[in-house]
Chain A
């Protein structure tokens, strides 16, 4: 299957020179670098969305306006309700600190009423109606809210960004393929007389295409590795927690599966470039007799 990579030294000499001249390896290196960074960002976003989603999927809040006096009884009732695995009251001080972000020092004013708030987690399949009825029996004016509802827009944005990342990876791959097509045509032009001579002595299109395919595969692999190595350096910098990087990643991490995917990208780019080069060379050769 990969026999075409193992051409004889004599065949290697046919196209002359070393690698294909021109910027092809560098273009592919830039594409590879960009694809790796975008793919890593997309995977990190996916992980962030997953973490966020898992963390709040089963989390609910009970809010009681002016409900300080009922808080202890309500907390006790929630904890003892079947299906509730944990329940915590949010301290008033913490709520006021949160409000300070919007209200400033006014948030600490005793004149500002602060609702009582209980966060609780439920087990999978818990009867939310029963929990709601139990809460209403103690505090009829209590309002129960699912956390996932409040961050649904954020999760939607994160998922949209993942698709944007996928789209960008595909676009960059297409741009790399286009660069390879141009490089292949340039190489064919440069070696036109050699190809005519080869055809003249009975070479098949596949024999000619193999030479170009191999050269472009080597250039693409070299470029991909250089780009991937640079991207790995940047990702390592982000992961080791430079302050700026920390802000960018938002604490998102990449797992083993993600690293496997990222490691396969340069290979995928090489395979794509090789296949495109072969198709471009064969299509061009078919135009001659």
Chain B
């Protein structure tokens, strides 16, 4: 499939690959290679201008927009620029996916407190994003992305604003989620992150295309991989 914005040149072209259900993928490539655009397709913020996308076994390229929220609730997204709601507290930001999905306030309270404690922000629950450091905002964004245990977690440079210790903890969280069955796709330049994740595979993008799709992939999907297809 391919993607172009407006009448410009294609930013993604001739992509044809499958992500295994429960896989852990790193998306790498130079700036402008199309990583963020590919992630947008994955978290259903864009439709391909040609070709097809299947997610969770459903063809979603031309699905009516009313059908998309149900699928979006199964996807957690960590944005490079955090995209927190500035006038909401850290607690309310993390709670947003649960509340949108209709969880009770009791469920929200317990889950969000636990998640904030896990990312080390238990004492900052009432703080608003402008009063948080970049690293703290990143952790709130990650907590929001994983709070409802998504089937697919998409992260764009999730460790770009955190120290090595927190990066390690986040990677541990991602790995734990992955073990629970969540498919993880992380766009990153951090080679150390890739090296520290046994079993993860790498997809390298250059000029909008996947390069050496077979050669660069470490640990290709096993025969039990059933899944989601792009």
Contacts and interface: CB of A to CB of B under 8 A. Distances in A.
B83 A196 contact: yes
A14 B95 CA distance: 11
Contacts of B83: 193, 196-197, 200
Contacts of A203: 69, 100
Contacts of B43: 200
Contacts of B70: 202
B52 to A, nearest CB: 16
A289 B46 CA distance: 7
B101 interface: yes
Given A201-B73, A202-B72, A203-B100, A13 B46 contact: no
Interface string A190-228: 000110111111111101000000000000000000000
A14, A196, A202, A286, most chain B CB atoms within 10 A: A202
Nearest to A288: B65
B87 A16 contact: yes
Contacts of B101: 202
Nearest to B101: A202
A59 to B, nearest CB: 67
Contacts of B166: none
A11 interface: yes
A199 B85 contact: no
Interface residues of B, number: 29
A10 interface: yes
B100 A201 contact: yes
- Which size class do A's interface residues fall under? 20 to 34
A201 B85 contact: no
Contact of B92 (A13, A196, A207): A13
B88 A8 contact: no
A202 B100 contact: yes
Nearest to A207: B100
A289 B73 contact: no
Contact of A201 (B47, B108, B144): B144
A90 to B, nearest CB: 77
Nearest to A203: B100
A184 to B, nearest CB: 19
Contacts of B105: 8, 10
Contact of B85 (A8, A14, A286, A289): A14
A204 to B, nearest CB: 5
A11 B99 contact: yes
Interface string B83-103: 111011000100111011100
A10 B99 contact: yes
Contacts of A16: 87-88
Given A10-B99, A16-B87, A286-B65, A201 B46 contact: no
Given A199-B72, A202-B73, A194 B85 contact: yes
15 contacts: A10-B105, A14-B88, A16-B87, A194-B85, A196-B83, A198-B96, A201-B97, A201-B100, A202-B70, A202-B101, A203-B69, A204-B69, A205-B66, A289-B46, A289-B68
Given A10-B95, A10-B99, 9 more contacts: A8-B105, A193-B83, A193-B85, A197-B84, A197-B85, A200-B43, A201-B97, A202-B101, A286-B65
Interface of B: 43-47, 65-66, 68-73, 77, 83-85, 87-88, 92, 95-97, 99-101, 105, 108, 144
Interface of A: 8, 10-11, 13-14, 16-17, 193-194, 196-205, 207, 286, 289
